[in-house]
Amino acid sequence: MSRQFLFDGRPVPFEEGQTILQAARAAGHYIPHLCWHPDFPPHGSCKLCVVKVAGRHVSSCALPAREGMEVESNTPEINAERRTLLQMLFVEGNHFCPSCEKSGNCQLQALAYDLEMSAGRFNHFYPDRPVDASHPDVLLDFNRCIFCELCVRASRDVDNKNVFALTGRGIGKHLVVNAESGRLGDTDFAADDLAADICPVGVILKKRVGFAVPIGQRKYDEAPIHTVAMARDE
């Protein structure tokens, strides 16, 4: 007899040790997320997967499912919180979508569309972190980083190269390259590393392939991320 909890009023079965996000996903329910990835342990930084359980707002990527839990996810209250989180991410970085090569393929942007975010509303930070174009095949634009650590995790745990790290505290936190010079070109990073493909936004960009996909055929042009992400298992 499998155990279950209620997800937006619908019963969702789960196995011992599964998080709310994993179980909901397995049952075909999408929960927004940016730093969570099926191949890695939960990170808990983006907070987009927030759900309401017993009156408290919790990260569904980290909270194990329990028998009889009542989880609220797709509600005006929770979606408003997610929209605010997205607005915070947008104003913290330089997210000028009109000139970004990732536009149309970007999870941050796609979530903003899906949650009907029309503007950042907060005052903009306009960070000033120089681009690193030292690598022959890959470019880094640090002003778009949302600190999900997916590249850090992929490079360290899968590629076994440990190319990236987050450093600094508070708003001073930023992505760095693990080389004495701090430059990507001075590492053994390669364009076919997992870390080169895993960035959900437009920080890690392959050179000479930008704007190759026509508008209308990009990842999130036709279908919203809640459909695309479930179909592609990401």
Partner 1 sequence: MEHRKLRIATTSLAGCFGCHMSLLDIDEHLFELVELVEFDRSPLTDIKQCAPCDIGLIEGGVCNAENVHVLREFRRHCKTLIAVGACAINGGLPAQRNHLDLGACLQEVYCYREGLDAPGVPDDPELPLLLDKVHPIHEVVRVDYFIPGCPPSGEAIWKFLTDLIAGRTPRLSYPMLHFD
Point out which residues bind partner 1 (CB under 8 A): 90-91, 94-100, 103-104, 109, 112-114, 116, 118-121, 123-124, 126, 128, 224
DSSP label at residue 65: P
**β pairing state of 174-177 and 164-167:** antiparallel
- Of 110 and 195, CB closest to partner 1: 110
Task: Kindly state the smallest distance separating residue 91's Cβ from partner 1, in Å.
Answer: 8
Task: Kindly state the smallest distance separating residue 79's Cβ from partner 1, in Å.
Answer: 14
- Of 61 and 86, CB closest to partner 1: 86
Q: Give the position of tokens 């190269």.
A: 161
Task: Kindly state the smallest distance separating residue 124's Cβ from partner 1, in Å.
Answer: 6
Distances in whole angstroms, Cα of residue 87 to Cα of each of 73, 101, 107, 156, 187? 19, 20, 14, 30, 34
C-beta of residue 202 within 8 angstroms of C-beta of residue 102: yes
- Of 40 and 125, CB closest to partner 1: 125
- Of 44 and 120, CB closest to partner 1: 120
Task: Kindly state the smallest distance separating residue 119's Cβ from partner 1, in Å.
Answer: 4
Task: Kindly state the smallest distance separating residue 95's Cβ from partner 1, in Å.
Answer: 7
The distance from CA 115 to its chain's CA centroid, rounded to whole angstroms, is: 15
Strand stretches in 54-192, DSSP E: 56-59, 70-72, 138-140, 164-167, 174-177
